Amino acid sequence: MAENEEKAKAQNRCPDNSAFKQQRLPAWSPSLTAETVLPFFYLLGIACVLLGVLLQITMQNTQEIKVDYTNAESCDMCFETRKYKVNASRECHCSITFSLKERLEGDVFFYYGLVNFHQNLRRYMDSRDDAQLLGRIKKLKNPSVYCGPNFQYANGTPIAPCGAIANSMFNDSFALFFHPLVDRPLRVPLFRKGIAWYTDKNIKFHNPYVPNESLPQVFQATAKPLYWQKPVYELDPNDSTNNGFINEDLIVWMREAAFPNFKKLYGILDRQSSKMFEQGLPAGNYSVSISYNFPVQYFRGRKQVVLSTVSWFGGQNHFLPIAYLVTGCVTVLVAVVLTVVYIKFGKKGLKMED
């Protein structure tokens, strides 16, 4: 017995015979053989080509109209006015016209576009206080220093909403008119709500809430951003539920664009309210009357109005279908080359010459 014990003891240091410890775990070791790689390449190439074709066809059904109104037509005058800061509070209205050669089918989206506006600068992007926008009372009166110099006035009055982003909010407003050949101009009905993400509208942005106080009362101790004409609780004169931090134009603006040239949603064609626009925007002449407030000449920017329809993979996008087509073709080409190479030079190389 003692011997047995000793034996057990003696074998103490013997490592376990487990597959893990002996590095013999069952494993799959794939290798790049011609039988797997070549068919994969053909399939991949063909799939990409097909996808590209599909995307191209889909994309051709979408349309996009882009009109630059920075200093076009009557807006030229407004452009000049906005050049000088002294005129900041002066209102300026102008309008531009364009015509649709074809009807814009289905849902039509109305965007404003900005060129050369850097919403993606680091200091600019940091200059906001999400807690304030969430409606925290404490933050409303005492915004984060992240807002930078735009968090309060020299006299200590806090700014709501604070920060450079809010301060630079795009404040042109638009009205789209359809000019039928026979009738007088008809205002195109646009939804001005439902243009922001659901999560932004309902979770990320909240008005500060104090019981028994109306919105202006809540915002009483705060001041509007430096460049704003109206305080935040009066952004939408027509719809009282679209005021304060939950104003959708504000929400849309607060979602910073990744690139200096961008477009943001302004409104969606209301197809129900009028028979004429049930199928989308009919072909014909249109005009946009613009309340021209946003100065762009400082940074040599341009302003646009964009009308567009969308498909299942988003708005009009030439890049994606072409990229797919190119990738697909290249892949097929490579596959052919590889096949030739394999048949001509390969095969024998892998045999062991023992």
Q: Would you say 199 or 212 has its CB closer to another protein?
A: 199
Minimum distance of another protein from residue 175's CB (angstroms): 19
Q: Would you say 135 or 179 has its CB closer to another protein?
A: 135
The answer for 206, left when phi > 0, alpha when psi is -120 to 50, beta otherwise, is: beta
| CA–CA distance, 142 with 139 (Å, rounded to integer) | 5
181-215 burial code (b ≥16 CB/10 A, e <16): eeeeeeebbbbbbebbeeebbeebbebbeeeeeeb
Minimum distance of another protein from residue 182's CB (angstroms): 31
Q: Would you say 95 or 320 has its CB closer to another protein?
A: 320
Q: Which residues contact 56 (CB under 8 A, 6 or more apart)?
A: 321, 322, 325
| CA–CA distance, 291 with 298 (Å, rounded to integer) | 19
Concatenated DSSP letters of 113-166: EEES--TT-HHHHH---HHHHTT-HHHHHS--GGGGGGGB-TTSPBBSS-SHHH
Q: Would you say 261 or 287 has its CB closer to another protein?
A: 261
Q: Would you say 28 or 182 has its CB closer to another protein?
A: 28
Minimum distance of another protein from residue 99's CB (angstroms): 22
Q: Which of residues 77-106 bind another protein (CB under 8 A)?
A: none
Is 215 within 8 Å of 233 (Cβ atoms)? yes
Q: Which of residues 216-245 bind another protein (CB under 8 A)?
A: 226
User: Using CB under 8 A, which of 28, 35, 154, 237 touches another protein?
Assistant: 28
User: Using CB under 8 A, which of 42, 204, 223, 280 touches another protein?
Assistant: 204
Minimum distance of another protein from residue 36's CB (angstroms): 9
User: Using CB under 8 A, which of 49, 55, 232, 305 touches another protein?
Assistant: 55
Q: Which of residues 252-271 bind another protein (CB under 8 A)?
A: 252, 255-265, 268
User: Using CB under 8 A, which of 100, 125, 186, 223 touches another protein?
Assistant: 125
Helix (H) or strand (E) holding 304: strand 302-308
Question: Which among 229, 300, 225, 294 has a CA at the least distance from the CA of 82?
Answer: 294
Minimum distance of another protein from residue 133's CB (angstroms): 8
Is 310 within 8 Å of 64 (Cβ atoms)? no
86-94, 124-132, 213-221, 234-242 -> range binding another protein (CB under 8 A): 124-132
Q: Would you say 86 or 345 has its CB closer to another protein?
A: 345
| Residue 211 within binding range of another protein, rule CB under 8 A | no
Q: Which of residues 155-174 bind another protein (CB under 8 A)?
A: 164, 167-168
Specify burial of residue 108 (Cβ count, 10 A radius: 0-12, 13-18, 19+): buried
DSSP 282: P
Q: Which of residues 289-328 bind another protein (CB under 8 A)?
A: 298-300, 308, 310-317, 319-320, 323-324, 327
Q: Rg of the chain's alpha carbons, rounded to an integer?
A: 31
